[in-house]
Amino acid sequence: MGIKSWVKKTINSILNAVIKPILNAIIIKPLKSFLRALGFYKLIGIIDKIFEIIFGILEFFLNLITIIADLLEFIVKFFLIIIEIFTNIGYYITRPFKLLIILIKLFITFVTYGLGFVYHSFEVGDNLKAVEWVLYTFIYIYIYQLVMLIHIIFWLVWRIFVEYIILNNIDKASRGAISTFMYKYFEACENPPDAWYMTPGWHKENKNKKYIFAFNACEAGYTANNVSGLFCQKNSPYELELCPQANLYRIMVSKETKGKLHNPDFNPDTQEFLKKNSLGKTRMIDEYIDDIKTNNKVCSQKMKSKDTILKTYCSNNTNDKSQESQLCYDIYCRNDKREPFCHKLEYNGKNDTVKISQSFESLIVLLVFITFIVLASGHYLKNTSSS
């Protein structure tokens, strides 16, 4: 129940259940009986009107209190919205890339609304929208014909004259040098079938890709930019080079592991962390937790098709404190996972930060809930005993 509803209900209860019955019992009824005994029947009607006016004035002032309560509720909500706005502004100012994404989305939204307004506001004739007329005439007649003309000319000049006549003969004379160059820099973007455990960052789409040119996967410690995919950006120092599943398979095929086998602990001794204020430090810790959660979630999703072979390998393993035993335990026996072979892989390893944080948060919520129940029960029992 909001402030408005509570105040209005309380005021109506006071007026109807307290003030009116008291006035009616103490003043109105005795006065009416007295006047009726004296025979002043007209005064009774006048008194009814007087008290009706008095009740109307009381109701007006009580409604004024309701309006004040509405105003207070509006002010509280207004300041909460202002605080939320400034909090979000501070959040996005410290994250320029996310701010850029938000600005791009806002721009697309405004452009979409603007186009919708133009489309529905202007018409040519009775049944034809102005935008449709532009599309039918300008785009179809001019742009489409121009594109088709360029395409035909390109096909005739490039595909027939340049490619089949000139380059084909040069390629034969150079023993395939031209075709090799064209394939390597314009066509080749295949990813080998073992890329999932050989290429660092494969789980984050760090693969060979083709746009206009062919782009190779980024080196270890970098992945393709999320916006364009054309440039490499440095990974977080807490991200794994390869997923635990990929390193486990590398051990299966007798290859050395790459990078760290599990998420590293947060390092509070860095210059960046020490220079931050308390809010900045909290945000860095939250970003660290988010990075680990995201990394573990992406690895689980991307490597799901490899679970059968990896679980088979882990079920045949023993608790020998080896790398593969630790990887099997980390992948399938922690973070609310429990496979049938986990009883063979128990070892004294510390939980990751994400799990500790989640358990701590759940414990705090549980304690707050229990405290609230105890206080409410004590208050109820106290009122019951006093009554």
Closest CA to 11 of 50, 90, 87, 64: 64
Strands (E), the chain: 123-124, 128-129, 209-210, 214-215, 222-224, 232-234
282 and 248 inside one domain:
yes
Q: Is residue 80 scored above 80 in pLDDT?
A: yes
306 and 378 inside one domain:
no
Residue 41 pLDDT grade (very low, low, confident, very high; cuts 50, 70, 90)? low
275 and 326 inside one domain:
yes
336 and 255 inside one domain:
yes
Q: Of 93, 112, 140, which residue is a domain's last?
A: 93
Q: Is residue 371 scored above 60 in pLDDT?
A: yes
| Residues 133/125, Cβ–Cβ less than 8 Å | no
pLDDT tens-digit readout, 263-293: 888 888 888 888 888 888 888 888 888 888 8
307 and 358 inside one domain:
no
Residue 228 pLDDT grade (very low, low, confident, very high; cuts 50, 70, 90)? low
69 and 165 inside one domain:
no
Domain of 364, in residue numbers: 353-387
322 and 288 inside one domain:
yes
pLDDT at 6: 63
More confident residue, 356 or 249: 249
Residue 163 pLDDT grade (very low, low, confident, very high; cuts 50, 70, 90)? confident
281 and 180 inside one domain:
no
Residue 5 pLDDT grade (very low, low, confident, very high; cuts 50, 70, 90)? low
Average pLDDT of span 17-31: 71
Let me know if residue 217 belongs to a domain: no
Output DSSP code: residue 254.
Answer: T
360 and 384 inside one domain:
yes
Q: Is residue 4 scored above 60 in pLDDT?
A: no
52 and 150 inside one domain:
no
278 and 331 inside one domain:
yes
Average pLDDT of span 147-175: 82
Average pLDDT of span 200-209: 83
12 and 55 inside one domain:
yes
| Total domain count, the chain | 4
pLDDT at 385: 60
Q: Tell me the pLDDT of the chain averaged across its residues.
A: 78
Q: Give dist(CA 251, CA 247) in Å, integer.
A: 6
Q: Give dist(CA 217, CA 231) in Å, integer.
A: 10
Q: Report percent pLDDT > 70 for the chain.
A: 80
Let me know if residue 69 belongs to a domain: yes
More confident residue, 259 or 36: 259
